[in-house]
Amino acid sequence: MPILIVVGVIALLVLFVISMYNRFVQLRNRIDNAWAQLDVQLRRRYDLIPNLVETVKGYASHERETFERVTQARAGAAAARTVEEQAQAENVLTQALRQLFAVAEAYPELRANENFQQLQAELAQTEGQIATARQIYNDTVLMYNNAIQTFPGVVFAGMFNFAKREFLEIEEESRGPVDVSFRDMPGREPPPAPPPEEPPAPQP
């Protein structure tokens, strides 16, 4: 009888370990799937950027530094391999796009251009989808990290080489406010400040 109890306990323990392992695998696969969905939206964003740059360039061809910054930031984001690299590259790209839209603000004809408006709308829609996909990815990572870092999962996670995953922290709304230094843009220096008004002379 005691042998049957021991065998039963061992069988339950084995089933429990198998269950924990399967749960870790399922959560890890969900992370990979969420990342794949997020990557689709990021790639769509990258595909829109060259057309956006060319459209702005048609009205502001002298803004070469801004165009180069966006192009380089796009290439860096597309080449990112780790979550940390992706987060850093996406933040650089977002800042570059903000600068590009700041340039567009100076050209009313460009803002009224139908192609520019369409690209801007598509980019806004894509960024909304990126935000949703990123939230799903981060929520899945949170579930996975909780599973391997809390008891009893933490006891078995190390045995099966299940390591912590990183969250993807990126900025949103590339068309948001941006600080533009007009002193760095030739021909766009702000007008000089008016001289201070002198106080009126005292009446005798």
**CA pair distance 82, 195, nearest whole angstrom:** 54
C-beta separation of 110 from 192 below 8 A: no
Summarize pLDDT for 10-66 with one digit per residue, the tens: 999 999 999 999 999 999 999 999 999 999 999 999 999 999 999 999 999 999 999
pLDDT for residue 92:
96
4 inside domain: no
190 inside domain: no
**CA pair distance 184, 40, nearest whole angstrom:** 36
pLDDT for residue 172:
67
116 inside domain: yes
186 pLDDT more than 50:
no
**CA pair distance 77, 165, nearest whole angstrom:** 20
7 inside domain: no
203 pLDDT more than 90:
no
71 pLDDT more than 80:
yes
Question: 0.85 exceeded by the pTM?
Answer: no
pLDDT for residue 6:
85
Lowest mean pLDDT among 18-22, 53-57, 75-79, 200-204: 200-204
pLDDT for residue 193:
45
CATH of the domain at 67: 1.20.1440.20
192 inside domain: no
DSSP-based three-state secondary structure for 76: helix
The pair of structure tokens assigned to 156 is 């078995």
Summarize pLDDT for 138-176 with one digit per residue, the tens: 999 999 999 999 999 999 999 999 999 999 998 765 544
148 inside domain: yes
**Residue found under tokens 């990112």:** 80
8 inside domain: no
98 inside domain: yes
* Domain span including residue 98: 16-176
Instruction: Name the domain count of the chain.
Output: 1
Summarize pLDDT for 82-132 with one digit per residue, the tens: 999 999 999 999 999 999 999 999 999 999 999 999 999 999 999 999 999
C-beta separation of 160 from 24 below 8 A: yes
The pair of structure tokens assigned to 71 is 């192009």
**CA pair distance 127, 101, nearest whole angstrom:** 15
